[in-house]
Structure 1
Amino acid sequence: MTAWDELTGQQSAIDALREAAADPEAMTHSWLITGPPGSGRSNLAFAFATTLLQGDSTGADAEHTAALVAARTHPDLAVLATDRVIISIDEVRQLVSHSQYSPSIAPYRVIVIEDADRMTERTSNVLLKALEEPPPRTVWVLCAPSAADLIPTIRSRVRTVRLRVPSVTEVAELLERRDGIEPALAERAAREAQTHIGMALRLATDADARERRARTLALALGVNSVSGAVLAAEQLVAIATDDAKALTADREEEERAAALRSLGVEPGGAVPAALRASLKALEEDQKRRATRSVRDGIDRVLVDLMSLYRDLALLQLGAGLDLVNESIRGDLEVASRESSAQQSLAALDAIALARRRIEGNVPPTLALEAMLISASGRAPTLGSMS
């Protein structure tokens, strides 16, 4: 299996990058890969990086390079990925400095920035200087949901490769082929993840994640009063928090253990006072990441609720289209008869408003309360919070 096999439904993008890698004379040194969340932006970036770093090598040498890229330890690969709200200017300055070195063992030095849309304008301008005059064997690969998420001057200096939304069938086939998932579960996970590849894999392999999603939908369907909306909002935030903890707990434990080993502290041993500052810095970084993870978890809850009300609207309008939540069709049919298409469409508007409010730092519980009250048809949308 090659790095390109991690992708699905993106043949035109794969062909464009493969052709560029095969022709050094026509090679572009600054790339932007765009596409919706879960479409495979990062996977495509690292498949491209693998091909560039492999060069003409074959057999065991090519496999060794692919393994180093997969582990993010190749000496000519630099990666910037953040779990925080923004990418800091110091992180980009460090990458720019790194980009000036010639590659040590590969034909190119490749620098990948995931979530490049999280750069502020000031930080973007630091990167811009490096993109204007890149060293001859340095390749920048930026990833973002849309080209519009980057400043115009950066957009003008990159070659853009756009990804499309893969189909349920394509994502399910990928899970079966790559991860050995049973076909029925792969199809359900792909559908309920709305073809987000990473989330589909999680739903297919994590029973707790599936159970949390089912609870989210059940809570929303069960709201029939203002007090019920308030209680449900609290529980949805708790679900998002639990989901975030599940994603980060193992990683944080591994990071702490690795830090202690690097400091020469035995497991269970006391940390000398002189070394506590290093651990505190790690803990602060983990706290910032946890905050971002909870926000992402709340947004996943809202995306799941959008699929719920979308399905209700389809049933109420008799559209005859496939449901995202086919596994609970019976419950949806009952709920669709107890409300109207107008209410379901209003609920979708309320969810979009809740997402904007949370981005504007409205407390998530309050935003969810207002959304659920509006979605249940118990009160008009609470515009005073906008």
Structure 2
Amino acid sequence: MFDDLVGQERAIGVLRTAAAAAAEIVAGGAGAGMTHAWLFTGPPGSGRTEAAKALAAALLCADQGCGACESCHQVEVGSHPDLMWVRPEGLSYGIKQTRGLVLKAAGAPTLGRWRIVLFEDADRLTEEAANALLKAIEEPPQRTVWLLCAPAPDDLIITIRSRCRVVKLHAPSTEAVAEVLMSRDGVPREMAFFAARAAQGHVERARRLALDEEARRRRDEVLSIPRSLTGIGECVSAAERLVKVSAEDADAATAALNEAETAELRKVYGEGSSGKGLGRGLVRGAAGALKELEAMQKSRATRIKRDSLDQALLDLAAFYRDVLAIQFGARVELATEDRRSDLEAVARESTPEDTLRRIDAIMQCRERLAANANPQIAVEAMTLALRSPRAAAG
């Protein structure tokens, strides 16, 4: 199971040691090196969830995560009876949900080894929810293990992170990501290295860029923006285009999922069934559940749209970082090497100070969006700040 972690040898060593200690505990030993609460941190795409999943499999598998047994397969697909997999769908994870989770986590393991809670995006916990979770982590049941994932330790309240063992992951190298794409997905070498550079260590995004032509088109459209900002009208148009491209990306990610969830819920409530006690009455009774599902889907769509727009802004920041590298003559790998002519043109037409100002404008836009600013207005302010110095002077 640890083979899915790309370029994380140090973390793998820590997790294997913990799995061996856990096996000692199950066998009646002391098991030094195992703890009941873990926090996996690292930049997007570094493999936080994959690392937590690998440890979960190693704890639940009699062979410490062999990857071939039924237990490992169940962990892989998320169906193991002793694994509670939490994926916050909306913008936040509230206290009501957390209390229910803590109650379920208090139960004894079904199969006798461990009861594990794998919590993706734990940084989405509200303050009240974090305090409720803290109590469970402070006094956990004997065989319950919490695996929390967040971008950085500071994203969780200090009282939680101080009680967790932190596993820090890093963005894997271009070579490591490209090798995975070639060996596991059969991606041609040139495309694999392009996607790995463009994704800047984000393994899943690299896979999407390598395999999905539409994902490459959307990225290309984002990276065409810097050279198009020749006037105020063009800046407003570019902002509208950027928000639209991000919305399309999010819609592509949610449309099929929403449809499948709604169809499944309607089926559960009897739609399309016949016979005594089935039919219109049960479908009408599903109105409340459907409304709740739609609210969750709307919240999830909002989050995914924000995440997609943020990714577009990070692509823009990478473009200007590469411009800065060219301006200083730095011998570093360029994430946007495929836009070399645009990079060199922008580098000639501006100064390093201009480039730093533009990067600051992108980061400020990200902060405004995180504070729930109107996306169109925030992005328009950014594109105006990104305008060519010559165009602004004119």
Fold shared per TM-score above 0.5: yes
Structure 1 residues not aligned, in runs of 5+: 381-386
Q: Tell me which amino acid in the other structure corresponds to 1:240.
A: S
- 1:153 and 2:159 matched: yes
Question: 1:317 is aligned with what amino acid?
Answer: F
Shift of residue 305 of structure 1? 0.4
2:292 to 277, 281, 298: 281
Match of 1:47 in 2: 54
Show the 5 A alignment for 1:1-386: 3-23=1-21, 24=25, 25-26=31-32, 27-56=34-63, 62-266=68-272, 272-376=283-387, 377=389, 378-379=391-392
Kindly indicate whether the alpha-carbon contact (under 8 Å) linking 1:6 and 1:178 is maintained by their aligned counterparts in 2.
no
Cα distance in 2, alignment partners of residues 217 and 244 from structure 1: 18
CA drift at 1:132: 1.2
Query: Residues 362-383 of structure 1, C-alpha deviation per residue, up to 9 Å, x if partnerless?
Result: 2111111111111113559xxx
Code of the aligned partner of 1:7: L
Change (3 A) 1:49 1:58: closer
Deviation at 1:357, TM superposition (A): 1.1
SS state at 1:157 partner: coil
Structure 2 residue matching 1:33: 3-state secondary structure: strand
Structure 2: how far apart are the matches of 1:263 and 1:331?
56
Letter in 2 for 1:248: T
Q: Distance in 1 between matches of 2:112 and 2:250?
A: 38
* C-alpha distance in 1 between matches for 2:362 and 2:306: 15
* Matched AA of 1:312: V
Residue identity matched to 2:205: M
Kindly indicate whether the alpha-carbon contact (under 8 Å) linking 1:240 and 1:294 is maintained by their aligned counterparts in 2: yes
TM-score, scaled relative to structure 2 = 0.91
Give the gaps of 5 or more residues in structure 2.
Answer: 26-30, 274-278
Q: CA deviation at 1:59?
A: 7.8
The residue number in structure 2 matching 1:384 is none
Residues 9, 348 of structure 1: CA spacing in aligned structure 2 closer, same or farther, 3 A cutoff?
same
Query: Alignment length, in residue pairs?
Result: 376
How big is the shift at 1:219? Answer: 2.3
Once residues 372 and 96 of structure 1 are traced to their aligned partners in structure 2, the CA distance between those partners, rounded to angstroms, is 45
In the alignment, the residues of structure 1 paired with residue 112 and residue 244 of structure 2 have an alpha-carbon distance, to the nearest angstrom, of: 47
Q: Distance in 2 between matches of 1:154 and 1:272?
A: 43
Deviation (angstroms), 1:106: 4.6
Looking at structure 2, the residues matched to 106 and 183 of structure 1 have their Cα atoms a distance apart, in angstroms, of 46
- Which range moved further: 206-215 or 362-371? 362-371
Aligned partner letter, 2:98: V
Report how far residue 207 of structure 1 moved. Answer: 0.7
Q: What is the letter of the counterpart of residue 107 of structure 2? A: Y
Out of 239-248 and 371-380, give the one that drifted further.
371-380
Distance 1:236 1:124 in 2: 34
Which whole-Å CA distance do the structure 2 matches of 1:337 and 1:379 have between them?
16
Residue-by-residue CA offset, 1:166-224 (whole Å, 9 max, x unaligned): 11111111222222222211111111111111211111111101000001111232111
Does the CA-based 8 Å contact 1:17-1:48 persist in structure 2?
A: yes
Maintained 8 Å contact 2:266/2:286: no
Tell me the alpha carbon deviations over residues 52-79 of structure 1, each in whole angstroms, 9 at most, x when there is no partner. Answer: 111248989x521122112211100001
| Aligned-residue identity in percent | 44
RMSD of the TM alignment (CA)?
A: 1.9
Structure-2 separation of matches of 1:117 and 1:327: 34
Structure 1 pair 90–55 and aligned structure 2 pair: CA distance change class (3 A): farther
Secondary structure in 2 matching 1:160: strand
CA distance in 1, matches of 2:320, 2:352: 9
Deviation by residue 1:74-116 (Cα, 9 ceiling, x = unmatched): 1000011113111111221122111211111151111111111
Residues 171 and 197 in structure 1, CA contact (< 8 A), matched pair in contact too: yes
